[in-house]
């Protein structure tokens, strides 16, 4: 059990009131929860992907996991810099998160990528909301979150490119859940292999 101590220091960064700095850091706690959750979820997909695209998806995920782990460290250290103790404990993620665990287990590359696309929608939307919330008070924290959104959106495009047809439509576009997104991508893949089998 973690030792109890005061969450807030008596200081924050220069130029902000202590209250302002601590309020910005408090916004970052949920971003820390989200990024910690994301790096675990990406590893889960890395281990559970199967099928012909195994190696490309398995290997595509690891650099993003490293990147997200870097964001975790950056957010936690920004909180500490601002005088608020970052809480990176698993129980805190589960207690404070507003989303459920990822729902896909052993599945093909496109199924995981279609489901992870929805995960990214959530993380990116919440990151954008957080940077808008803190931007007027603390452009330094805003700048950090902007850079992270840029990285997350770039990787989301990598994932989306696997489930996008030549008309620019995403195979999971009508799905509202990870399971439905995975199912839609699986169906589209089966359709593609059916067409190529007919051609042969
Ligand atoms: Fe690995």
67-113: per-residue pLDDT in tens? 999 999 999 999 999 999 999 999 999 999 999 999 999 999 999 99
For residue 180, give both structure tokens.
């439905």
Lowest mean pLDDT among 8-22, 25-39, 185-199: 185-199
Q: Indicate the angle between helix axes 18-48 and 139-162, nearest 10 degrees.
A: 20
Fold of the CATH domain 18-194: Ferritin (1.20.1260)
Query: Which position has the token pair 């500490």?
Result: 80
How far apart are the CA of 108 and the centre of ligand 1, in A? 16
Read out DSSP for the chain? -PPP--SB-S---TTS-HHHHHHHHHHHHHHHHHHHHHHHHHHHHHHHEESTTHHHHHHHHHHHHHHHHHHHHHHHHHHHHTTB-----HHHHHHH-SSPPP---SEEHHHHHHHHHHHHHHHHHHHHHHHHHHTTT-HHHHHHHHHHHHHHHHHHHHHHHHSB-TTS-BTTTT--SHHHHHHHHHHHHHHHHHHHHHH-
Separation of CA 184 and ligand 1 centre (Å): 27
CA 165, 169, 174, 175 dihedral sign is: positive
State the Rg of the chain over Cα.
Answer: 19
The rounded Å distance from CA 84 to ligand 1 centre is: 33
Per-residue pLDDT, 69? 98
pTM of the full structure:
0.93
Give me the percent of the chain exceeding a pLDDT of 70. 95
Predicted pLDDT at 148: 98
Q: Is the pLDDT of residue 169 over 90?
A: yes
- Structure tokens given for 137: 């008070």
Q: Find the 62 Cα to ligand 1 centroid distance in Å.
A: 7
How does pLDDT run across 30-43, given as a tens digit for each residue?
Answer: 999 999 999 999 99
| pLDDT, tens digit, 9 for 90 and up, residues 170-195 | 999 999 999 999 999 999 999 887 77
Give me 190's structure tokens. Answer: 């089966």
Look at 3-12, 29-38, 58-67, 94-103 and tell me which has the smallest mean pLDDT.
Answer: 3-12
pLDDT band at 160 (very low <50, low <70, confident <90, very high): very high
Burial 29-64 (b: 16+ CB within 10 A, else e): bbbbbbbbbbbebbebbbeebeeebeeebbebbeeb
Identify the pLDDT of residue 180. 96
Quote the pLDDT of residue 192: 81
Cα of 176 from ligand 1 centre, angstroms: 29
| pLDDT the model gives residue 112 | 98
Q: Ligand 1 centroid vs 189 CA: distance in angstroms? A: 25
Question: Ligand 1: distance of its center to the CA of 54 in Å?
Answer: 12
CB within 8 A of 112, min separation 6: which ones?
A: 45, 48, 49, 57, 104, 182
The mean pLDDT value of the chain amounts to 95
| CA 20 to centroid of ligand 1, rounded, Å | 41
Distance, in Å, from the CA atom of 90 to the CA atom of 177, rounded to the nearest integer, reads 24
């Amino acid at each position: 059990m973690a030792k109890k101590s005061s969450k807030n220091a008596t200081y924050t960064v220069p130029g902000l009131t202590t209250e302002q700095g601590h309020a910005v850091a408090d916004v970052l706690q949920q971003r820390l929860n989200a990024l910690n959750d994301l790096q675990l979820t990406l590893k889960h997909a890395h281990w559970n992907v199967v099928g012909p695209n195994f190696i490309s998806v398995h290997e595509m995920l690891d650099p993003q996991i490293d990147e997200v782990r870097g964001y975790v460290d950056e957010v936690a250290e920004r909180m500490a810099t601002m005088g608020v103790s970052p809480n990176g404990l698993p129980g805190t993620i589960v207690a404070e998160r507003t989303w459920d665990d990822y729902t896909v287990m052993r599945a093909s590359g496109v199924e995981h990528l279609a489901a992870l696309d929805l995960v990214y929608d959530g993380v990116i939307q919440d990151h954008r909301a957080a940077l808008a919330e803190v931007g007027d008070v603390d452009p330094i924290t805003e700048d950090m979150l902007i850079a992270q959104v840029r990285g997350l959106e770039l990787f989301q495009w990598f994932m989306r490119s696997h489930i996008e047809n030549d008309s620019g439509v995403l195979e999971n576009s009508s799905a509202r859940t990870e399971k439905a997104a995975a199912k839609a991508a699986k169906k589209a893949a089966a359709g593609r292999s059916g067409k190529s089998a007919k051609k042969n």
